[in-house]
Amino acid sequence: MKTVSGGVCAAKGFKAAGIHCGIRKNRTKKDLSLIYSEAPCCAAAVYTQNLVKGAPLLVTKDHIARGPVRAVICNSGNANTCNANGVEVAEAMCALAAQRLNVLPQEVLVASTGVIGQPLNLDPIREGIAPLVGALSTDGSDDAAEGIMTTDLKKKQIAVEFEIGGKICHIGGIAKGSGMIHPNMATMLVFITTDAAITGEMLQKALSTDIQNTFNMISVDGDTSTNDTVTVLANGLAENPVISEEGEDFNAFMKALNTVNVYLCRAIAADGEGATKLLECSVTGAKDEKAAKIVAKSVICSSLFKAAMFGADANWGRVLCAIGYSGAEVDISRVSVSFESCQGSVCVCQNGAGVPFSEEEAKKILLENEITIAVGLGDGEAAASAWGCDLTYDYVKINGDYRT
């Protein structure tokens, strides 16, 4: 398996585009994206666990249940959530795209991101559909990735190439996510495409399994959004033997999917609103995977610890505090903690107590933009990782006037 260029267009038969249609006032920012497959796709998706769900999620779920999918349309600047006519607008977006693409409306999935509770005007989308479809290209992943961004500062995309049954397959993805990011179907939009041949049942199984160790393990601010969606489209154009059951081929697909998802998770966490550092909590020595996950998420969710990382302060007591209230059954007297970066590693806690360390060396390590918090629990052999970011002044500034 190797990383390749192309994002969601790396897989055979996929094109993408992104334009500014007028949903957002800033004309320099794209606000409407489209992904299209030349062949019918089976699709799988996972959604937010928030009881308040955006209308596009409801429509997408219904369309996936109806059968093959050909396209995904997504707008930024407006979440189309908590609107009386939300479903009607989401269905209309699908119909507009379907008419131009010459496919059925139910073959189009839809997503929206942006401000909650404001009506979404269809006029800019209606006027933008023709130029959007006209812009579809095998080089369009970059524009599509830009069109789904809100407070994101960086575009997020990746693609990998791998082999199944002697056939070269591809899987690629784009993502948006910067604020309202929290475990349990974190807060973002992710669109993944593949030319691998796989049944819808196995595709859903692969996605639902993998998010437990990827998108459910990131947090920026503790808020779970209303519009979270991760969608995978598979058109089978790689012509590999169809993956219809678990086995060697399914494992190869799972490995490729996980590579894409882990990359996008890290990119989302690193681009958290106002963030200056990517934090990874790596937990080892847990009695089971559940305990490892609980501890890892608790550490990267701690506002006190996140603030300490912003200040490059090796305040390891905040790590133990987060472990202590996590709810996991842990013997604190066995816990060890180290801080690591490209500048080295410093052990700050052993057997649940502090050990002598150089504050200057720790500061040097924590001033880097990628920090690993290595936690050893000493209770078993299970492990897990979670991703987050530091908490900065800019997070408050960004969200203080997000709507206005």
Which DSSP letter does residue 240 get? P
Q: Give me the count of residues in the chain.
A: 404
Integer angstrom CA distances of residue 275 from 81, 207, 250, 287, 392? 26, 28, 36, 32, 6
- Rounded (10°) CA dihedral 250, 256, 260, 265: 60
Could you tell me which residues are beta bridge partners of residue 98? none
Could you tell me which residues are beta bridge partners of residue 234? 42, 194
> How far apart, in whole angstroms, are the C-alpha atoms of residue 315 and residue 200?
47
User: Rg (Cα) of the chain, in Å, rounded?
Assistant: 22
What is the residue type of 188? M
> How far apart, in whole angstroms, are the C-alpha atoms of residue 38 and residue 35?
10
Number of DSSP helices (H) and strands (E) in the chain, helices first: 11, 15
Q: Is 138 part of the annotated catalytic residue set?
A: no
Which DSSP letter does residue 13 get? T
Pairing type for strands 336-341 and 108-115 reads unpaired
> How far apart, in whole angstroms, are the C-alpha atoms of residue 352 and residue 291?
17
| Residue pair 280/342 in contact by the 8 Å Cβ criterion | no
Token pair belonging to 241: 């033997």
144: CB partners within 8 A, 6+ apart = 7, 8, 16, 17, 18, 33, 34, 35, 174, 191
Name the active-site residue from 48, 113, 151, 187.
187
Token pair belonging to 124: 């800019």
- E strands, 50-144, where? 69-78, 108-115
Token pair belonging to 226: 């209303």
Residues known to be catalytic = 187
